Structure 1
Amino acid sequence: MGFLKDLRTLTAQGNAAYARMDVGATLAAAQQSLDQANQVMAATVTATDPGLDAARVRTTASVLDARQLPMMIGMNAVVELDLVVTLAGGIPMPATRTEQLAPLHLARVMPGARLDVSLVPGRPETLRIEWGA
C-alpha cells in the first residue's frame, strides 16, 4: 500500500502547487522573454536589399570587445561585438553588432582580432561580418 500512499501524497502536493501558481504572471514572464528574444533576433539580422548588395564594399574591422549575452539560440551564442571598421582611405568607424555565433566562430572574436566585413558606404546599419571569407 506504500505506492498508493505516495501517489496520494504527490497528488496532494501537485494540487497545492497548482493552486498557488499565478498563471497571469507566468504568461507575462513568458511574453517578456519572447519579446527579448525577438529583439536579439532582429539585431542579429543584417538588412538585405538586392539593390544595396551591388554597392556593398568589402573591408576589415578590428574587434575591440566581445560580450556574450545571456541567451543561446539553438547551439549558437549571442554575442555583442564592439568593432572599429576601417573605411576607404583609412577612416575608422566605430560600430556595434550583435551576432549569433556558432561555437566554431567564438575564438574568432577575441579582442584584437580582425574580421572581414562588408557594408554600403554611408549606411552603417548594413554592416555584415563575412564569416565565410
Structure 2
Amino acid sequence: MGFLADLRTLNAQATAVRDRMDVGSTLAAAQQSLEQANRVMAASVAANDPVSDAARVRTTATVVAARQLPMMIGMDAVVELELIAQLPGGIPLPASRTQPLAPIQLARVTPGAIIDVSLVPGRPDTVRLELGA
C-alpha cells in the first residue's frame, strides 16, 4: 500500500501546484521575453541599404565595456558593447552595439580589446562587427 499512498500524495501535490499556477502571468512573461528578443535581433541586424554599404569603411574599435544580457539566442550569448571606433584621420567615434555572439567569440570582445569593425563615417548607429567566422 506504500506505493499507492505515495502515488496519491504526488497526485495531491500536483493538483495543488496546478491550482496555484497563474497561466495568464506566465504567458505575459513569455510574451515580454519574446518582444525583448525581437528588439535585440532587430538591433543586431544591419539594415540592407546599398547607399550606406557603399559609404561604409573598415576600421578598428576599442571595446570600452561588454555586458552579457540575461538572454541567449540559440547557443549565442547576447552582448551589449560600448566601443570607440577610430575613423580615418584618427577621429574617435563612440558607438554601441547589441548583438548575439558565439561562445568562442566572447573572449575577443573583452574590455580593452581592439576589434575590426565597419561603419558609415559620422553614423555610430551603423557599426558592424567584422569578427569573421
Q: TM-score, normalised by structure 1?
A: 0.89
Structure 1 gaps, min length 5: none
Gaps of at least 5 residues in structure 2 are: none
How does 1:26-41 map onto structure 2 within 5 Å? 26-41=26-41
Runs of 4+ more than 4 Å apart: none
- Deviation string for 1:55-97 (max 9, x for gaps)? 2111111111111111121221111111001112111110011
Name 2:128's counterpart in structure 1.
Answer: 128
In 2, Cα distance between equivalents of 1:46 and 1:2: 62
SS of corresponding position for 1:48? coil
Q: CA deviation at 1:25?
A: 1.4
Structure 2 Cα separation of the partners of residues 122 and 84 of structure 1 = 12
User: Any idea what SS the aligned residue of 2:4 has?
Assistant: helix
Residue 48 of structure 1 and its aligned partner are, at CA, apart by 2.4
The match for 2:79 is 79
Hey, what's the Cα distance between the residues in 2 that align with 1:33 and 1:111?
A: 28
8 A contact 2:44–2:98 mirrored in 1: yes
* Matched residue type, 1:69: L
**CA RMSD after TM alignment:** 1.6
Q: Any residues of structure 2 matched to 1:3-22 within 5 Å, and which?
A: 3-22=3-22
Question: What fraction of aligned residue pairs are identical, expressed as a percent?
Answer: 72
Partner of 1:70 in structure 2? 70
Q: Does the residue aligned with 1:64 lie in a helix, a strand or coil?
A: strand
Count how many residue pairs are aligned between Structure 1 and Structure 2. Answer: 133
Aligned to 1:2: 2
